[in-house]
Amino acid sequence: MRVGIDFGTTHTVAAVVDRGNYPVVSFDGVDTWPSLVAGNAAGELRFGADAAAVRHEPGWSVLRSFKRLLNDAGPQTEVTLAGRGHRLADLLTGFLARLRSDLCDRSNAGLAPGETVEAAISVPANASSAQRFLTLDAFVAAGFHVVALLNEPSAASLEYAHRYRSTITARREYVLVYDLGGGTFDASLLKMTGPANDVVLSEGIQRLGGDDFDEAIVDLVLAGSGLGEVDDGRRDLLREECAARKEAVGPQTRRFLVDLTAVDRPPFACGIDDVYAACAPLVDKTVEILRRVLRDPAAGDEVTTSEVAGIYVVGGAGSFPPVSRALRAAFGDKRVKRSPHPFAATAIGLAVHLDTEADFELSERFSRHFGVFREAEAGTGVVFDPIVPKDAPLPADAHSPLVVRRSYRAAHNIGCFRFVECSRMVDGRPDGDVMPFDPVYFPFDPALYDRPDLGRHAVGRWTDGPDVEERYEIAPGGAVQVTLTTQPAGFRRTFRLERRAAAAS
Ligand SMILES: Nc1ncnc2c1ncn2[C@@H]1O[C@H](COP(=O)(O)OP(=O)(O)OP(=O)(O)O)[C@@H](O)[C@H]1O
Ligand SMILES: [Mg+2]
C-alpha cells in the first residue's frame, strides 16, 4: 500500500493512493490523528488517539506539539513527561509505530497486517538537516518503507496541481503556497509548466502557527480577566479552551467568549477585534514573508503578482478570518484560494507524488543555506564559507545525490568543523533561523586516528598536514552528510549532521 503521511504539529494525516484517487484515511471516523503523546509516572506511554483519550485523566501528562522540538533536537535529546525522561527520538518512533498499527486496526485504509507501507513523508520547508534525519529514522524504525521526503508546501502544491491544473495559463504559471499549520509557517513559490512543478524558492518561520495564536489569545484572556499569571496546568486547560473557541470563529463572529470554569472564574468576553489585534503581529509576519518571496531576485525579475495564478492557503490556521482578510487586502480578492482540504492538502499531495500513474513531476530545491565557520587570519578571526546555497536544485533520486567537493591542505592536527544552516544570509553571514550543528572533529594527524575524544584534545597548527577532501552529499529530501578523507593516506570518515541538544523541555 502507498500512503502519504503528513506528520503535523497538531494533526497527523494520511492519504492513500487508490486508482487515481487519494482518499484521506479516517481513524475511528475522524480524518486526522492527534499528534499527541501521553505518559504517566510509571513510564507508560500512549500515542495519538489513545493519548487524546487519557489527556484529562489523573496521573497522565500530555506532550503536545512535539514536532516543534525536532528542529533543535539530536538523537539523544530528552524530554520530560510526567517526571520521567524520554528520548524524543524514541517517543517519535513509538508515536509512528502506533500510527502504523492504527492504520491497520482502526482506520478505513484497508491495510493488512504485515503489508508493506510505502510512505511519502514531509517536513516543513525550513526544517534543518537534523529534523530531516530524525523524522526519516523514526518512520523507518516504526516499520514504514519511506520512498520520499518532501517539503510540506511542495507536497501541497501537488494537491493544487492535481485539483486546479486548469487555472495555470502561460501568463499565470506561478502558484504561491501559504501553509500555516499548528507550529510552522511555510511559503513556497512554484512554477507549473506541463507536468512539471518546479519549486522556485521557499521561505518560512519555524515557530509560527496556530499554537502561537493560542498563546496570544491566552495572554489576552489572562490580562482581560484579571487572572494575571496562572500555573502551567491551568494555562494548559485555558489554552485548550481558547484554541477551541478560536477554531469556532467565523467571518461573521462579533464577540469572543471563553469559558473559565477550569480556572474557577466567570466567563470572559471581548470584542472579536481585540482577538484579531492580539494576533495581528503574527499574521503580518506571514504576509511580509509572501512579499519577500515575490520580491526575491531568485524568483526572476518578471514574477509579478499578476503572474501568480493563486495564493493557495493550506493548513488549519489559514482558516482564521484575519488571515484571509490580510491576504486579500495585500494580494487581491481573486488571487487567494483556500484548499477544500486545509488539513489534508499536504498528505494528499504526498499521495499524488507516490502515484506513478499521476502525471506530475516535482523538482525540489534546498531550502536553507548550508556552510561552515572556519578560522581565518592565522586563528585570529572566523569566516563563514557557504557550501550549499539556498535554492540549489535537489536531485530527483537517491542514487544520484547532489555532491559538493572541496579540498585543501590541512593546517592543523585536528579539523574542527562548525557547520551551520540558516534561512538567510546577510553580508556573507548567516542570519535568520541559524541552526548550528554539533561540531565535527576529524584527525588530520595519523597519531590521533584512534582517539575517541578529539573534542577535548588540544588543536594545534601543523605545517606538515595532509591534503583533505570534503565531500558533501545532499539527498533528495535535503539532508546533508559529509565524508572527510585525507590524502595520500586515504583515512576517511562519514558524518551525518546532527545535534546533541540538551533536554528539550
Ligand atoms: N477554523 C479554524 N480557525 C482558526 N484556526 C484553526 C481552525 N481550524 C484549525 N485551526 C488551527 O490550525 C492548527 C492546526 O492546523 P494543521 O492541522 O494544518 O497543523 P499541523 O499540520 O498539525 O501543523 P504543522 O504543519 O505546523 O506542523 C491548530 O493550531 C488549530 O487550532
Ligand atoms: Mg501541516
CA of 67 relative to ligand 2 center, distance in Å: 10
Mutate to test the pocket of ligand 1, among 246, 256, 279, 339 (most ligand atoms within 8 A of CB): 246
Report whether 441 contacts 454 (CB < 8 A): yes
User: What pLDDT was estimated at residue 378?
Assistant: 60
Residue 502 has pLDDT above 50, yes or no: no
What are the residue ranges of helices labelled H in 296-360?
321-331, 345-354
Residue 144 has pLDDT above 90, yes or no: yes
Find where cell 489534508 sits. Answer: 344
Position 294 confidence tier, pLDDT thresholds 50, 70, 90: confident
Strand-by-strand arrangement of the 480-487 sheet? 402-409, 467-474, 480-487, 492-496
How far from chain centre, in Å, is Cα 229?
31
For the chain, the domains span 2-153, 365-497
Ramachandran region, residue 377 (left: φ > 0; alpha: ψ -120 to 50; beta: rest): left
- Would you state the cell numbers that stand for residue 83, as one nine-digit string? 517526571
- 209 Cα nearest atom in ligand 1: 26
3-state secondary structure of 343: coil
The angle at the Cα of 312, spanning 19 to 153, to the nearest 5 degrees, equals: 70
Summary mean pLDDT of the chain: 91
Across the range 308-314, mean pLDDT stands at 91
CA of 164 relative to ligand 1 center, distance in Å: 23
Q: Which residues' Cβ are closer than 6 Å to ligand 1? A: 8-11, 35, 67, 181-184, 209-211, 243, 246-247, 315-317, 319-320, 343
- 179 Cα nearest atom in ligand 1: 25
Report whether 138 contacts 121 (CB < 8 A): no
CA of 315 relative to ligand 2 center, distance in Å: 5
- 210 Cα nearest atom in ligand 1: 29
Find where cell 489585534 sits. Answer: 277
Which of the pair, 490 or 396, is modelled with greater confidence? Answer: 490
User: What pLDDT was estimated at residue 500?
Assistant: 63
311, β-bridge pairs: 176, 336
353, β-bridge pairs: none
Return the minimum-mean-pLDDT range out of 62-76, 164-178, 187-201. Answer: 164-178
Report whether 435 contacts 71 (CB < 8 A): yes
User: What pLDDT was estimated at residue 120?
Assistant: 96
**Alpha carbon separation from 217 to 230, 239, 247, 279 (Å, rounded):** 14, 8, 12, 8
**Alpha carbon separation from 295 to 299, 332, 413 (Å, rounded):** 7, 17, 46
Which of the given ranges, 164-168, 178-182, 194-198, 295-299, has the highest pLDDT on average? 178-182
- 315 Cα nearest atom in ligand 1: 18
Closest-CA residue, ligand 1 atom 2, reads 247
- 10 Cα nearest atom in ligand 1: 22
Report whether 20 contacts 357 (CB < 8 A): yes
CA of 258 relative to ligand 1 center, distance in Å: 19
In this structure, which ligand is nearest to the CA of 12? 1
- Domain 2-153 shares a fold with domain 365-497: no
- Would you state the cell numbers that stand for residue 143, as one nine-digit string? 516499520
Mutate to test the pocket of ligand 1, among 9, 217, 242, 275 (most ligand atoms within 8 A of CB): 9
Mutate to test the pocket of ligand 1, among 5, 6, 10 (most ligand atoms within 8 A of CB): 10
User: What pLDDT was estimated at residue 480?
Assistant: 92
Q: What CATH architecture is 365-497?
A: Sandwich (2.60)
CA of 129 relative to ligand 1 center, distance in Å: 24
Residue 276 has pLDDT above 50, yes or no: yes
Report whether 279 contacts 217 (CB < 8 A): yes
Residue 415 has pLDDT above 60, yes or no: yes
- 35 Cα nearest atom in ligand 1: 22
Angstrom distance (rounded) from CA 165 to CA 178: 18
Position 359 confidence tier, pLDDT thresholds 50, 70, 90: confident
Length of the chain: 505
User: What pLDDT was estimated at residue 501?
Assistant: 53
- 343 Cα nearest atom in ligand 1: 18
DSSP string, 160-213: HHHHHGGG--SS--EEEEEEE-SS-EEEEEEEEETTEEEEEEEEEETT-SHHHH
CA of 22 relative to ligand 2 center, distance in Å: 17
CA of 57 relative to ligand 2 center, distance in Å: 28
- Would you state the cell numbers that stand for residue 348, as one nine-digit string? 494528499
Per-residue burial over 228-259, b = 16 or more CB atoms within 10 Å of its CB, e = otherwise: eebeeebbbebbbbbbebbeebeeeeeebebe
CA of 342 relative to ligand 1 center, distance in Å: 9
Amino acid identity of residue 301, one-letter, is D
Residue 253 has pLDDT above 50, yes or no: yes
What CATH number should be reported for the domain whose range is 2-153? 3.30.420.40
Residue among 125, 122, 284, 282 at smallest CA distance from 190: 125
Mutate to test the pocket of ligand 1, among 247, 313, 324 (most ligand atoms within 8 A of CB): 247
CA of 343 relative to ligand 2 center, distance in Å: 7
Position 307 confidence tier, pLDDT thresholds 50, 70, 90: confident
Residue 10 has pLDDT above 60, yes or no: yes
CA of 347 relative to ligand 2 center, distance in Å: 9
DSSP string, 413-471: SEEEEEEEEESEEETTEEESS-EEPPPEEEE-SGGGTT-S-GGGSPP-B-TTPPEEEEE
In this structure, which ligand is nearest to the CA of 34? 1
Angstrom distance (rounded) from CA 498 to CA 77: 11
In this structure, which ligand is nearest to the CA of 342? 1
185-193 and 336-338: which strand pairing? unpaired
List residues, by chain if needed, whose CB lies under 5 Å from ion ligand 2: 8, 181
Position 452 confidence tier, pLDDT thresholds 50, 70, 90: confident
Position 504 confidence tier, pLDDT thresholds 50, 70, 90: very low
- Would you state the cell numbers that stand for residue 480, as one nine-digit string? 546533508
User: What pLDDT was estimated at residue 74?
Assistant: 85
The pLDDT tens digits of the residues spanning 366-402 come to 989 999 987 766 656 778 899 999 989 999 888 889 9
Residue 45 has pLDDT above 70, yes or no: yes
- 213 Cα nearest atom in ligand 1: 29
Residue 438 has pLDDT above 90, yes or no: no
**Alpha carbon separation from 415 to 98, 409, 465, 484, 491 (Å, rounded):** 42, 11, 11, 10, 13
Closest-CA residue, ligand 1 atom 29, reads 210
CA of 428 relative to ligand 1 center, distance in Å: 36
Residue 204 has pLDDT above 80, yes or no: yes
- 249 Cα nearest atom in ligand 1: 3
Residue 503 has pLDDT above 50, yes or no: no
CA of 315 relative to ligand 1 center, distance in Å: 6
Q: What is the pTM of this model?
A: 0.89
